Structure 1
Amino acid sequence: MNALQIKQFKLIKTEITRFMMMYKFALNELETKVEILQEEFQLLHDYNPIEHTKSRLKSPESIWNKLKRKQGGLSFDGIREHVKDIAGLRITCSFLSDIYRIRDMLEAQSDLKIVEVKDYIQHPKPNGYQSLHLIVEVPVYMSDGKEFACVEIQIRTIAMDFWASLEHKIYYKYNETVPAQLLRELKEAADAAAALDRQMERLHNEIQSIREEQEDGEANELTRIMINNQQFSLPEALFGLLGDGRQEKD
């Protein structure tokens, strides 16, 4: 390899590294937003709709293989157009309603743009797979200006996540040639997981109703707030001031 080839190779490597960093930063930005939403929801509602999250970046080899399958041109613009899941974030929830609550919270973020939605919960795949997929465009501020990178977000319940993980392991073991009997059993397991999610949602709603009735009788709780594991008492004068303010507005 001569000096010119080495220089060209270094230039290409730098461009690829910058391109991958853009998606990493987009993923970091999105993870930070989700963490803030988690903490806000916990403080205001004493409830966290997110059990856990997991992020990943596709390798350059995986990106290249997907680009070939989609017959896209080998360029950064071609990759942006044909490979929307270079960066991925999986959000796992306890209940079905949490999935759509999180979607709504992400939609409310003014600097995020949801460019694609695939609802495999309302319309499961033939094999039983269920999850809500979003492609979100995230602004990234690099040293030479603002870029936009897409991140795929998969939001699913614990039951859906368990099934998807098991299905992936089975397909990997059989090299994607799974016996018909196992396919039938996987579909039955997916149906059972969906039934469990619906039952847990009903229980969750009933418990929430009971909890709200109990909170109505706990007036003392209204005069205290908890932030960052520190409890603060609210002075009665503050409530009077807020009350006067509401009356003036009315």
Structure 2
Amino acid sequence: MRRVKSVSQHVASYERHRPTYEAFSLKLKELLNSILDANKLKVHSIESRAKTIESFQEKVTRSGKVYNNPLSELHDLCGCRIITYYADEVGKVADILKAEFSVIEEELGHQVSELDVDRFGYLSVHYVIKVGGNRVGLPEWRAFESMCAEVQIRTIIQHAWSAISHFIQYKQETAVPSHIQRRLYRIAGLFELADEEFLGIRDQKAALKASAAKAIAEGRKGIPLSSSSISEAIKAWSERDAALSAAVDAGFQLLKDQEDIDSNSDNYVGYIYSLATRLNINTVDDLLLIVNKVDLSLLETVFSINKDKVNWMVSENFIFYMLLIAAAGDAVDVEYLSKNGISAEIAKLILRGLRMKPRSRRRGTKAGSE
């Protein structure tokens, strides 16, 4: 007759094996990051964990369930949570999981379409996966060949709802007083609406960017200034290559990491727009005309007076912004720049460099000539 293990034996067994589950979760997180990067899908974060000893013990002692071998019967001893920015990315991540792993279970119950109209449960997609395909034969994955992991996919908004509802400890809706239920229903609806609105705003922004890119490509540069039109105008800027070359020759280093470039560029587009508005520049054409009048040699002057010879890491949008600052002349000062994307120390250097060169000189001309 087979002897049934006690709870304490199960717990002791898990405690011995937990370091392997922890290692699996960390390695799985690293792999998920690599796979999503390869698919050019940027997510907010990936979390990983192995179930704590206390949580394991609580689960195996719940009433109504008896485990003969919880280490093989429980599939959530190791897990990852992928948090996306937008709702439609949840499905994209799910498709990638299905293509890259062996899916043991798929739980789709925590979705809007599966909830009754009078329910406020958290939203998420759950999968139980194993390492599969050619990857399972690799030496670094051999130790995890038989192990499962739970992967949850949800948006930031869904994650916020889950975290808050968990904190206030209303896991079961039947335990919630009716007057509080109503308030929770209202909040849940707002969270769902927020997910939909962020998705709509993202798509609308992309449409505006595409429209601006088309107009500029067709030579219609009289379009109004906006973050989208400025961004596309700089990409198609006739002096772009010359300005970047002059910046590198002067000593500036251009950002190469795409994530840093995107973050830096997005910020400086806003500063460019603010300064253009300050100068009463209203169209892309007018913006390019005034920047194109600035002598690129000022980049060398600004860098040369940097006493410490620090290699500035900059984006093309920063270079464009600096040229616009040169065109602005006395319309900007250190105080303005320190509030608009440039530190006071760097602002002083830039303005000092501009005073050493005649402003608004055309390229290849002498001061005072056209």
Fold match (TM-score > 0.5): yes
The answer to whether 1:100 aligns with 2:91 is: yes
| Residue 306 (structure 2) aligns with | none
- Relative to 1, partners in 2 of residues 1:200 and 1:142: Cα closer, same or farther, differing over 3 Å? closer
| 2:115 partner SS | coil
Superposed counterparts of 1:188-203, under 5 Å: 188-203=186-201
Alignment counterpart, residue 78 of structure 2, candidates 76, 87, 107:
87
Give the CA RMSD over aligned residues: 3.6
1:68 offset after TM fit, Å?
Answer: 3.1
Alignment counterpart, residue 106 of structure 2, candidates 89, 114, 117:
117
Asked if 2 retains the 8 angstrom alpha-carbon contact of 1:23 and 1:150, the reply is no
Asked if 2 retains the 8 angstrom alpha-carbon contact of 1:49 and 1:98, the reply is no
1:172 offset after TM fit, Å?
Answer: 7.1
**Rounded Cα–Cα distance in structure 2 between residues aligned with 1:144 and 1:108:** 20
| Residue 55 (structure 1) aligns with | 48
| 1:154 partner SS | strand
**Rounded Cα–Cα distance in structure 1 between residues aligned with 2:166 and 2:59:** 18
- Which structure has more RCO (C-alpha within 8 Å, separation ≥ 6)? 1
Once the two structures are superposed, what CA deviation does each residue of 1:42-86 show, in whole Å capped at 9, x if it has no partner?
xx5xxx5311222222123322332233623343xx4322x2111
1:33 offset after TM fit, Å?
Answer: 1.9
Asked if 1 retains the 8 angstrom alpha-carbon contact of 2:76 and 2:148, the reply is yes
**Rounded Cα–Cα distance in structure 1 between residues aligned with 2:51 and 2:19:** 12
| 1:108 partner SS | helix
- Relative to 1, partners in 2 of residues 1:27 and 1:214: Cα closer, same or farther, differing over 3 Å? farther
| Residue 6 (structure 1) aligns with | none
1:28 offset after TM fit, Å?
Answer: 1.9
1:215 offset after TM fit, Å?
Answer: 5.2
**Rounded Cα–Cα distance in structure 2 between residues aligned with 1:94 and 1:144:** 33
Identity among equivalent positions (%) equals 22
Asked if 2 retains the 8 angstrom alpha-carbon contact of 1:38 and 1:49, the reply is yes
Code of the aligned partner of 1:117:
E
Structure 1: runs of 5 or more not aligned: 1-8, 232-250
| Residue 332 (structure 2) aligns with | none
**Aligned residue pair count:** 206
**Rounded Cα–Cα distance in structure 1 between residues aligned with 2:150 and 2:93:** 14
Larger C-alpha radius of gyration, 1 or 2?
Answer: 2
| Residue 33 (structure 1) aligns with | 31
TM-score, reference length from structure 2: 0.47
1:20 offset after TM fit, Å?
Answer: 1.8
Once the two structures are superposed, what CA deviation does each residue of 1:74-112 show, in whole Å capped at 9, x if it has no partner?
43xx4322x211112122111111111111122221xx2
Superposed counterparts of 1:1-250, under 5 Å: 16-17=14-15, 19-41=17-39, 48-69=41-62, 71-75=65-69, 78-81=70-73, 83-109=74-100, 112-119=101-108, 120-121=110-111, 122-124=113-115, 126-138=119-131, 147-171=145-169, 177-214=175-212, 217=217, 228=257
Code of the aligned partner of 2:148:
C
| Residue 247 (structure 1) aligns with | none
Q: Which has the higher strand share?
A: 1
Once the two structures are superposed, what CA deviation does each residue of 1:135-173 show, in whole Å capped at 9, x if it has no partner?
112367689866322211111111111111110111179
Structure 2: runs of 5 or more not aligned: 1-7, 218-231, 238-254, 262-370
**Rounded Cα–Cα distance in structure 2 between residues aligned with 1:212 and 1:36:** 29
Once the two structures are superposed, what CA deviation does each residue of 1:163-212 show, in whole Å capped at 9, x if it has no partner?
11110111179xx9543322221222111111111122122222223334
Asked if 2 retains the 8 angstrom alpha-carbon contact of 1:124 and 1:130, the reply is no
**Rounded Cα–Cα distance in structure 2 between residues aligned with 1:146 and 1:90:** 19
Code of the aligned partner of 1:164:
S
Code of the aligned partner of 2:115:
P
**Rounded Cα–Cα distance in structure 2 between residues aligned with 1:207 and 1:128:** 31
Code of the aligned partner of 2:131:
V
